[in-house]
Structure 1
Amino acid sequence: MKALSLPPRLLMGPGPINCYPRVLQAMSTQLVGQYDPVMTAYMNEVMALYRQVFNTQNTQTLLIDGTSRAGIEAVLVSCLEPGDKVLVPIFGRFGHLLAEIAERADAEVHTIEVPWGEVFDPEQIEQAIRKIRPKVLALVQGDTSTTMLQPLEHIGAICRQYDVLFYSDATASIGGNPFETDAWQLDAVSVGLQKCLGGPSGSAPVTMSDRFVDCVRQRHHVEAGIRDPHHKDASGSRIRSNYFDLPMIMDYWGDERLNHHTEAASMLFCARECAVNLLEEGQQAVIERHKMAGVAMLAGIQAMNLAPFGNLKHKMNNVVGVYIPMGVEGEQIRSEMLNTFNIEIGTSFGPLKGKIWRIGTMGYNARQDAVLHTLQSLETVLRRAGHKLSPGAGVDAAMDVYAKAIA
């Protein structure tokens, strides 16, 4: 059997991305037992680190072992009982995902939608909340399918006014865009590592407010330290998943250390390093680096006679949608970028299938050389495919953005 041998890809799509080297190194750390004091101390440290990442004082801030979708499912399955009303504002693919997971929990799901490339005004969401009176509002912050960033800062106050639990999936946005759990009055947040946090998929940090914790703990009965699997609360339901049962996971991470699963130690070490990397560089510095890379990529794209997709006022810092120009075969361009230059850019799906590319600048790849290399390679492939552009204009425009920042 041959050893693993992967090509040196530069991942400039909507995620996953190339990991920070220190994150990869952390994943190779030797293991200890799951109840070794060293291991439990690192679990506690990770909880403290992610409170800073989420900008929260929430005691219940921990990791779900699984991809970012595992975090979404843990939050929704644990808090939703059959018949509970959920409101999901949809502005891209991942809103549809939240709705589907809620439906599988037998919730009564209500959706509102805006065209892909737009986001919601707070008034639209408040109007729907007034009409539906949901138990939970489930809202994506950054949706890579559309590259749009949904403003959240006014939504929490609306939810508190109507006694609605406010949950957001911030997988694609946290780290590269502002996120303020407590200031924005969020009750639950789940994310992944494979975007701006600069790690691999496989661990889902979550944070939960006290009122969210009260909600999910009401669905359990604990007597003499032993969970009664036959107990039903007043509504006659209990959490249908064992693996994604948040109260059980909280007891595993808490002082009791009640056995639930064997913590994915290598992913915990990895998640720790993602947080340390972010906090050592400084949250605002990392956001500014992502913003700079995103502005430079956008400037380069536009200088190459390419049109960006969506309302740029609400574009995420870390990804841009690019209309595929007339006369160019989009998948052929992506193939040549990958196989000739070892650069991956993203395709699209849903109503945007075959219409746009998605180019990311996130995590370890939110840096000048990666932006310039991608633009130069894309220019070469497009020029050879017959697209009309001014040679060198894209790279020059991006370099001008960086030069002005230094000046």
Structure 2
Amino acid sequence: MRKKLGVEETNLQVTADNETQSLSNGLYAILGNDSDDQDFVYYYDNNRTLRGETPIVGYRAHRLLFRNGLMYYSISETKIATVNSLGQVKKIIHTGNYELHHDYCFDDDGNLLVLGSKEGDSYSDSNSEDLILRIDPDKDKILQAIDLGEILGDYKATTHKGSTTNQEGVLGLDWMHINAIQWLGNNTVILSSRETSSILKISNLFGDSLNIDYIIGQQNFWDATYGDKVLTQVGTFPNTGGQHSVTIEYDDSLPDGQYYLYMFNNNYGVSATQDYDWTQIDGIYTTSMSQMTTEEIANASSYYYKYLVDENAGTYELVKSFAVPYSSFISSVQETGDTIVVDSGGQGIFGEYTQDGTLLKQFKMKMNKYMIYRVYKYDFDGFYFNK
């Protein structure tokens, strides 16, 4: 490629190489290596070599979405770009008086469902991360702003402003911190809440009243409010701590009402807005990487987790798990067929694993600040490349 616009590495450091099985086809998209200067989406190939860089306004792209020959990705806290396969920007979609964060997806009608926060003077308004925006991308129009406080108000009433502040030093009420959304159809979504270390299924999303179908998380965390919504855990295993990148996976061999949810289990328990003792969960960490020594980080583990959810029985069980490099915050996982791409973002490490958890290849990228937000792999078939 031509001369780089950024200061990223042309060739990443390879920290493990055990290609006993082929890596999946495609390019690794580095979604968030935040910089005080220009921000980019970077593309690297299986041989660690830089193949492209896409400049964005700022903040980060959270994932790439493809629909009708176009690619969609966020380019700032308030803008999503629509780009064709020639790289031409066809449209900019705006989030108005809201700030997007963490994730977005399409519904069946082609509307974007965007995780958002209210924009305002106080931290509790501008950074509560408890909204779902429904946006018509063709008209660049916000159709609906869904406030999770309307359905989870009993729990919200038990929370308090946390220990983190905004740039003005104001304490915040980041009481849910939704970091992933998955569209299931029929006005239903799966949400991942980092602050509660829980996964929620919400239905009747566009109706008069939202409904909590279930919650996956620590039973005693929810007993005082929505304990009757918590699914029953089958088997003995630690629940997730601050999970990210929760993804639904359907399997035709499963009966109706059963499906898989896989995720990056950070294995870090913290609730800045709730008084809860996470040390009661066996094996979970309650200190972030910033409070740990280099040796402690090297010896700690996050996990790839995969649940089997049985809505008929009201249960969930852990059917697959393997250890990955520790990251107390952010990070991602992605199943790509025969392999699994894992980003341990707090260490700037990402790699590809077999389905049984054998590491095939691992890369390390220099971090501009303190994290590589997410790494997903895309084959770009029919967009940049043709078979």
When the two structures are superposed, what TM-score results if normalisation uses the length of structure 2?
0.23
Which structure has more helix as a fraction of its residues?
Answer: 1
Larger radius of gyration: 1
Larger RCO, structure (CA 8 Å, separation 6 or more): 1
Which structure has more strand as a fraction of its residues?
Answer: 2
